[in-house]
Amino acid sequence: MDERQKPGVLRSYTPLTIGETQGALEILEPLTEQQLHLRQTVTSAAVATGAIALAFLLVAMAMGRRLVGRPVEQLVSLARRIGEGDLEARVHLRQKDELATLADAMNQMASGLAAARAQVTAETAARLATLEHLRHADRLGTVGKLASGVAHELGTPLNVVLGRAKMIASGEAEGDETRECALIITQQVQHMTGIIRQLLDFARRRTPQRAPEDLTELVARTLRLLHPMATRRGIILASEAEGPLRLDVDGGQLQQALTNLVVNGIHAMKRPGTLRVKLGRARALPPAELGGPEAEWVRLDVLDEGEGISPETLPRVFEPFFTTKDVGEGTGLGLSVSYGLIRDHGGWISVSSEPGRGSCFSIFLPPEAAGPQEAEA
Ligand SMILES: Nc1ncnc2c1ncn2[C@@H]1O[C@H](COP(=O)(O)OP(=O)(O)OP(=O)(O)O)[C@@H](O)[C@H]1O
Ligand SMILES: [Mg+2]
């Protein structure tokens, strides 16, 4: 290889005149030292640039975390606490930027929500107090109504008992008359016991004593008992059933509920007509207080051709002590007791009525209470 082509050599020429002769002086200088210097310079420049870039990155990250990351975390935590109902939560950012504006807005929102909640709590408390006040007044009214009802109900038989007892004591009644007086006293005492039993039934219901019952037979039995009362008013009691239907129920309680419904129907029929009791199964949606989806239920309808119930009265008929009957004629406990008995069986009673045409009270019972024979069928 030519000497001049060697890398790392600095070649410089200096013109030179010696006498008449012109020439040039070639100076060859090795570049080893300069190259080394250049390489070192490039390396240190690269390292310095890298270090500066890294330093900038670290500073940018630290600033980003301080100015954005942490405030955003605080805002997220504030939003979460407010969401969980902690309306006392606040956040205070030291910076003055959009995030600080957002924090102020969120603090104000929390204050607004806290004020609204306090107002709602105060209003609810006031409403509850008013309601309690009304209920108290209502209770006083119903207790008064019940007291006058019971006083009247018991007053009449007590007068009879007193009169007959006086007749016996004074000797006014003699021989057969004495026996007749004793008989009348017995009847009146039984009547009073019945009233007291109904009140007690209302006050403390016992849990149903379930046993397999044929509901068709239970309906027939109930209607047989009420037959004389209906006939006196020219009312025919009819029953329809799809077939034998056995359920595990407290026969006595179910009969009591059905009796109350039929007696109400008879009372509502001021003219002769037919009162029907229909037994079968039907799909129905339980009321809200019972809950659950639409399903098949055992249904017992009591359909009368009576005066019906006005839309204003209809929502109140199941209220304890609510009655439209005169003092002494009704205590207003029949339907509330019946409803309670059917609820104890896991069912409910519904009512529909057409004023002037009649009413339909329906007892719904859960089919799970079906006895073994019914379940197998
Ligand atoms: N079949 C019906 N037709 C019309 N109104 C009815 C019928 N059933 C109930 N009602 C109304 O509902 C009210 C409440 O009935 P509920 O059986 O609870 O009490 P009551 O019959 O008045 O007295 P009791 O305690 O003697 O049963 C009745 O007073 C009546 O106004
Ligand atoms: Mg009644």
Does the Cβ of 264 fall within 6 Å of ligand 1?
yes
Does the Cβ of 332 fall within 6 Å of ligand 1?
yes
329 CA from centroid of ligand 2 (Å) = 9
pLDDT at site 146 = 66
Give the closest residue (by CA) to ligand 1 atom 26: 330
Q: Which atom of ligand 1 is nearest to the CA of 322?
A: 14
What are the distances in angstroms from CA 163 to CA 154, 187, 189, 192? 14, 14, 13, 16
Torsion of CA 282, 287, 293, 299, to 10 degrees: -20
The whole-angstrom separation of Cα 115 and Cα 119 is 6
Does the Cβ of 306 fall within 6 Å of ligand 1?
yes
Give the closest residue (by CA) to ligand 1 atom 8: 264
What is the three-state SS of the chain? CCHHHCCCEEEEEEEEEECCEEEEEEEEEECHHHHHHHHHHHHHHHHHHHHHHHHHHHHHHHHHHHHHHHHHHHHHHHHHHHHCCCCCCCCCCCCCCHHHHHHHHHHHHHHHHHHHHHHHHHHHHHHHHHHHHHHHHHHHHHHHHHHHHHHHHHHHHHHHHHHHHHHHHHCCCCCHHHHHHHHHHHHHHHHHHHHHHHHHHHHCCCCCCCEEEEHHHHHHHHHHHHHHHHHHCCEEEEEEECCCCEEEECHHHHHHHHHHHHHHHHHHCCCCEEEEEEEEEEEECCCCCCCCCCEEEEEEEEECCCCCCCCCCHHHCCCCCCCCCCCCCCCCCHHHHHHHHHHHCCCEEEEEEECCCEEEEEEEECHHHECHHHHHC
Does the Cβ of 347 fall within 6 Å of ligand 1?
no
Domains of the chain with CATH codes: 3-80 (no CATH), 211-376 (3.30.565.10)
Does the Cβ of 331 fall within 6 Å of ligand 1?
yes
182 CA from centroid of ligand 2 (Å) = 30
Give the closest residue (by CA) to ligand 1 atom 27: 334
- How confident is the prediction along the chain (377 residues), in pLDDT tens digits per residue? 455 445 577 788 888 888 888 888 888 888 888 888 888 999 999 999 999 999 999 999 998 888 888 889 999 999 999 999 888 989 888 888 888 899 999 999 999 999 999 999 888 888 888 777 776 666 666 667 667 767 777 888 899 999 999 999 999 988 899 999 999 999 889 888 877 877 776 666 678 889 999 999 999 999 999 999 999 999 999 999 988 899 999 999 999 999 999 999 999 999 999 999 999 999 999 998 888 899 999 999 999 999 999 999 999 999 877 889 876 677 788 898 899 899 999 999 999 999 999 999 999 999 975 444 443 33
The whole-angstrom separation of Cα 101 and Cα 49 is 38
Phi and psi at 148, nearest 5°, equal: -70, -35
Does the Cβ of 340 fall within 6 Å of ligand 1?
no
259 CA from centroid of ligand 2 (Å) = 9
pLDDT at site 57 = 94
Instruction: Please choose, from the candidates 256, 153, 213, 224, the residue with its C-alpha nearest in 3D space to the C-alpha of residue 373.
Output: 213
Residue 344 near residue 253 (C-beta atoms within 8 A) = yes
The whole-angstrom separation of Cα 319 and Cα 41 is 101
pLDDT at site 153 = 72
pLDDT at site 143 = 67
pLDDT at site 377 = 36
- The ligand that comes nearest to the alpha carbon of residue 362 is 1
The whole-angstrom separation of Cα 96 and Cα 103 is 10
- The ligand that comes nearest to the alpha carbon of residue 352 is 1
Rounded CA Rg of the chain: 49
9 CA from centroid of ligand 2 (Å) = 127
Q: Which atom of ligand 1 is nearest to the CA of 317?
A: 12
The whole-angstrom separation of Cα 56 and Cα 59 is 5
342 CA from centroid of ligand 2 (Å) = 15
Residue 199 CA from chain centroid, whole number: 31
315-321 long-range contacts, Cβ below 8 Å, gap at least 24? 317/351, 318/349, 318/351, 320/142, 320/202, 321/142, 321/145, 321/146, 321/149
